[in-house]
A = this chain, B = another copy of it.
Amino acid sequence: MVTKQKISFAPSIRRLPQYLHVIRQFESTGGDYISGTLIANELNLEPIQVRKDLAITGIIGKPKRGYPAGELIKAIEHYLGWDISHKAIVVGAGNLGSALMGYQEFRNNGLDIVAGFDSDPTKIGSRIHGVQIHNIDSLDEIVAQIKPEIAILTVPSPFAQSSCESIVKSGIKSIWNFTNTKLKVPDYVSVQREDLSSGYAMLSVMMQQLAKNLDSIEN
């Protein structure tokens, strides 16, 4: 049986795209070797953390000089699988779905959104950011044709579970879930949850600490 696995080094993996961004910028301005210290300064992190994180990609740096920027970019991209193209569909072509279809950053990193799906007749047949929108009823058929690896789920939450089931039935095994619904999926399907509420919770607690700090200064 394929057991649901935890991803090791999750915190490091989540930081890699930030590094990639900084290193690409560095390279595009003609930079040659980039040090962990420089990356750390740019992102308000500790140099040792950057070095440890980069090590998981297999890159070897040069003492005193840093890491060869070009190779480092390739190493991160390869580690993340961003050096090859991944076809994806967007299920739910509302505002959020539309935003994601137009997100250039994804395309730069191998995520190729090839189709959108919606139930709204005024959207079906149109193109959003160049992506053709299909009737959600034709999901099975079109997935069979174009064989995408990823489904990005951006429907309103009441439709999340049922849409998810259509996606699973169509044969897609990776779902990026932007709804606030905990999806029930078979073991062989993996779900990455993108939970805006959790970010809002963090923001809220930060705000309370901010208020507390101001109080303690004033009094």
**Chain A residues in contact with chain B, CB under 8 A?**
2, 5, 7, 10, 13-18, 21, 42-44, 80-82, 86, 94-96, 98-99, 102-103, 105-106, 109-111, 149-150, 157, 173-174, 176, 180, 182, 188, 190, 192, 194-210, 213-214, 217
Q: Are A205 and B174 in contact (CB under 8 A)?
A: no
Whether A205 touches B80, Cβ cut-off 8 Å, given contacts A182-B42, A194-B196, is yes
Query: Which of B95, B199, B200, B207 contacts A149, CB < 8 Å?
Result: B207
Main secondary structure of the interface of A (DSSP, over half): helix
Residues in B with CB closer than 8 Å to A43 are: 182
Shortest distance in angstroms between A56's beta carbon and chain B's nearest beta carbon? Answer: 10
Give the complex CA separation of A161 and B54 in angstroms: 26
User: Quick one: closest B residue to A102, CB to CB?
Assistant: B95
Q: How many copies does the complex hold?
A: 2
Give the complex CA separation of A31 and B105 in angstroms: 44
Q: Are B109 and A210 in contact (CB under 8 A)?
A: no
A-B contact pairs, 29 of them (CB 8 A): A2-B214, A2-B217, A5-B209, A10-B202, A13-B202, A14-B198, A16-B201, A18-B198, A42-B182, A43-B182, A81-B207, A86-B204, A95-B95, A95-B96, A95-B102, A105-B180, A106-B196, A111-B200, A173-B210, A174-B203, A174-B210, A176-B203, A188-B210, A190-B206, A190-B207, A190-B209, A192-B203, A194-B196, A194-B199
Whether A81 touches B194, Cβ cut-off 8 Å, given contacts A43-B182, A96-B96, A99-B95, is no
Q: Are B96 and A14 in contact (CB under 8 A)?
A: no
Whether A13 touches B192, Cβ cut-off 8 Å, given contacts A42-B182, A182-B18, A209-B5, is no
User: Quick one: closest B residue to A1, CB to CB?
Assistant: B217
User: Quick one: closest B residue to A206, CB to CB?
Assistant: B190
Shortest distance in angstroms between A155's beta carbon and chain B's nearest beta carbon? Answer: 12
Give the complex CA separation of A2 and B215 in angstroms: 11
